Structure 1
Amino acid sequence: MRRERFHTFALETLREAPDIRGAEPWDRGDHTIGLHVTFSTGAQIWVGITMALAPGEKHDTPEEPGRGEPPAEVPVPELHKDGMITPERVKHYLAAVMTNSGCDEIALAYPYTDDGHPGFGVQFHNGAKVFCLLVHSARAGQSPGGKYELLGTF
């Protein structure tokens, strides 16, 4: 699944997820596309999306989706603690939502380990990968701060 199609798929999937009030496209203006997600509390997260094509695939050739068994459903982790959300909880929550989407192109969705920047990844049956980095966060009614500002709680 290429980035643009994943973008559409992710927006549709997130709009149906529990604890999510809305999911909208986000374009930073520097060729970065992403997601602006608003949770039921009003807290917000902005997610940048990049990708790696399937082995041997080129950007100027038609996409060849691979299909297989969707990943087994997993429990969706608790998003809130004492009314607050953290980037750590968000990455696990969003990875579980992607895992549970039932999409037969997804082989695996996973939260990143402690690599310095929270996010989640999705690997597809054709070998393509999507990388989703949490870029900004804001409390209800606030706008994001500067470049790559993730609040500890929001």
Structure 2
Amino acid sequence: MRPQRFQQFTVAAYVDAPGVRAAEVWSDGVRRPFGVAATVEPGVVVRHAITVQARDGDDYREPERPVEGEPAAPMEVPGLSGGEGGRVRIADLEQYLAALLNNAGSAEIAGTYTYSGREQRGSVPGLGVTFHDGSKAFLPFVHVHRPGQGPGEAYALPSEI
């Protein structure tokens, strides 16, 4: 799935999900032209970028040819009620968003995963999506903060918020 269409799909999947207050297209100019900003219960704003690794042989000058397969097996959606003091672990936020995309029912998505759940963890939190056509989407968290707070420096993320 190409970046712009995946961005629209992601916004729609988040907006339709329980526990999501808002979701919209987000970008950081030419540095991160594709991304999503979502506000989830209990009041956490996450902005993640979207980059896509095209399937072998895909030519972006040609019309996109989606490949469908069996939708990903449903995943349990963890709660984000916030632990002690209403704080949310970033790893739980990764799992939550991965489950929302996984469970959105797209026949193009083969599965999702979290960066913190991989054997070789990423340098920042986030999630990934694999597609039946062999392409992949990477969704690193750029900013995570509470509403009304400034986003802070890109990728300078706490372990909980």
- Note whether the superposition's TM-score is higher than 0.5: yes
Q: Partner amino acid for 2:151? A: P
Shift of 1:137: 0.8
Whether the aligned pair in 2 keeps the contact of 1:42 and 1:141 (CA below 8 Å) is: no
Whether the aligned pair in 2 keeps the contact of 1:87 and 1:134 (CA below 8 Å) is: no
Q: Partner amino acid for 1:128? A: S
1:105 has 2:111 as partner = no
**CA distance, structure 1, for counterparts of residue 138 and residue 36 of structure 2:** 12
Aligned residue number for residue 115 of structure 1: 122
Aligned residue number for residue 151 of structure 1: 158
Aligned residue number for residue 4 of structure 2: 4
Whether the aligned pair in 1 keeps the contact of 2:124 and 2:155 (CA below 8 Å) is: no
**CA distance, structure 1, for counterparts of residue 61 and residue 114 of structure 2:** 30
1:79-106 C-alpha deviation (Å, 9 max, x unpaired)? 2323221221111111111111111010
Q: Partner amino acid for 1:121? A: G
**CA distance, structure 1, for counterparts of residue 131 and residue 110 of structure 2:** 5
Query: Runs ≥4 in structure 1, deviation > 6 angstroms?
Result: none
1:38-90 C-alpha deviation (Å, 9 max, x unpaired)? 11222211101001111111121111100011011111012232322122111
Aligned residue number for residue 146 of structure 2: 139
Query: Normalized against structure 2, the TM-score is what?
Result: 0.90
Whether the aligned pair in 1 keeps the contact of 2:37 and 2:46 (CA below 8 Å) is: yes
**DSSP 3-state at the match of 1:64:** coil
Shift of 1:31: 4.5
Query: Normalized against structure 1, the TM-score is what?
Result: 0.94
% same residue: 38
Written as runs of structure 1 = structure 2, the 5 A alignment for 1:2-151 is 2-32=2-32, 33-79=34-80, 80-82=82-84, 83-112=86-115, 113=118, 114-151=121-158
Q: Partner amino acid for 1:127? A: G
Unmatched tracts of structure 1, length 5 or more: none
Whether the aligned pair in 2 keeps the contact of 1:138 and 1:151 (CA below 8 Å) is: no
Unmatched tracts of structure 2, length 5 or more: none
Shift of 1:147: 2.2
**CA distance, structure 2, for counterparts of residue 23 and residue 75 of structure 1:** 21
The number of aligned residues is 154
Compute the RMSD of aligned alpha carbons. 1.3
